[in-house]
Amino acid sequence: MLVGYGVKLGTTKRRQRKSTAAPPPDPAPPAPAPAEARVSPPPVQPSGGQAPGTESTPATVPAGTGNGQVLAKPPVRKLAKELGVDLAGIAGTGPGGSITREDVQGAAQGAAQPPAWPAGGAVLREERIAVRGVRRHTAAAVSASAFTAPHVTEFLQVDVTASMAAVRRLRDLAEFDGLRVSPLLLVAKALLVAVSRHPMINSSWDEQAQEIVVKHYVNLGIAAATERGLIVPNIKDAHLLSLPGLARALADLTATARAGKAQPADLTGGTITITNVGVFGVDAGTPILTPGEAAILAFGQVREMPWVHQGQVAVRQVTTLSLSFDHRIVDGDLGSAFLRDVGAMLADPVAMLAWS
C-alpha cells in the first residue's frame, strides 16, 4: 500500500500468527520422483530432550527444504553470490540446518585452496631457513659493499684458443705432475701480472682517513661456493709464487674451502678477487666487490663461437671477462687498461711471459 493512495475498501483480515506447535500441511504434495531418483529419508530416532515427531538435519547433508530450496537468509545469499559460492553444495550448521555466514565463508576459503599435489607424499609449499653463520656474514658484507662503493662493471670477450692449448701443454710437464691445471690458473697469473702493471687496481679506500691505500702485495681471493654459502678465501702473497706454486695454492685453497675447513685467517686480508662463474655454465655477470677491495674479475665459461681470426671466420674458443671496480679509486681509463691487459695475455700467453 503506497502512502497517499488511501485505504482499500472492504473488510480486512488480521494476518494469522504462525503456529509454533506444528507447521501447516502442504497444500499439495510434490510430484513423486522417478524410481531411480527417489531417496528415502533417514528414520527419526527420538532422543532425550527432543519431542517425538521432530527431525534433525544431519550436518553432512546440504541444507534444504522438501521442495529443493536452500535454507539461508537473504544476507547470507547475498554473501554467497559475492563470493561465488553455490549454496546447494553447503551443509548448513545453523538452526534447522540453515546456512550461516560462517558456512559460506568456510566454503569460499576451501574453494580458494590450490589443488593438492599429486600422490606420492606431502610436499612443503614453503620453507624457512635461519640466516646465520657464513651466509649471514656474506649477506652483511655484500650489502655493505654494494651500497658503499660505487660499482662500475666492464666486459671484454676474448679469444682464448691459445690459452686453452697452453693449459693442455702444461698438464704434460713434470712440474705440474699431480696438480690440476685449469684455465683459472692462467687467468690468475694474468691478473697478477696486470696488477704489477697497474698497482692502483690493488688498493682500498680508507673512509676515516680519506686516503687510498695502495697494496704492493697481492692476497688473491678466489670466490668459492660451499654448502655453508659463498666464501672468499685468499692466497697470501700470491704475486711471489711461481706458476706451479700458484697451481698448488689454488688446489689447496679450493679443497679446504669446499671441505668447510677454511680458517678465519684465510678469509681476511684479501686485496683483489677472481670469481669463476664459468664453472656454472654462465658467460658473464656483474660481481659485487669483496669489502675492502677495489676490483673483482669474473671469468665466464669457455665455449666455441664463430670468430674472425686472421681475416677469416673460424670456430674459436671464446670467454667473457667482467671487471667490477670501485669508481672512487679506479676510473674508466684504469679499469679499461687493466681489463685489456688481462685479455691480451689470455689471447696470447707469450705476452704473459714478456710482461712478467
Contact residues for 279 (Cβ-Cβ < 8 A; gap 6+): 301
- Separation CA 236–CA 240 (nearest Å): 9
Residue type, 125: R
- Separation CA 205–CA 56 (nearest Å): 82
Answer yes or no: 151 catalytic: no
Q: Counting beta carbons within 10 angstroms of the beta carbon of residue 248, is it exposed (0 to 12), middle (13 to 18) or buried (19 or more)?
A: middle
Phi-psi region of 27 (alpha: psi -120 to 50; beta: other; left: phi over 0): alpha
Where are any strands of DSSP class E within the chain? 151-159, 203-206, 211-214, 220-222, 224-226, 229-231, 234-235, 272-276, 295-299, 303-309, 312-326
| Integer angstrom CA distances of residue 62 from 56, 85, 92, 220, 323 | 13, 13, 6, 73, 69
**Of 137, 151, 198, 327, catalytic:** 327
Active site residues: 327
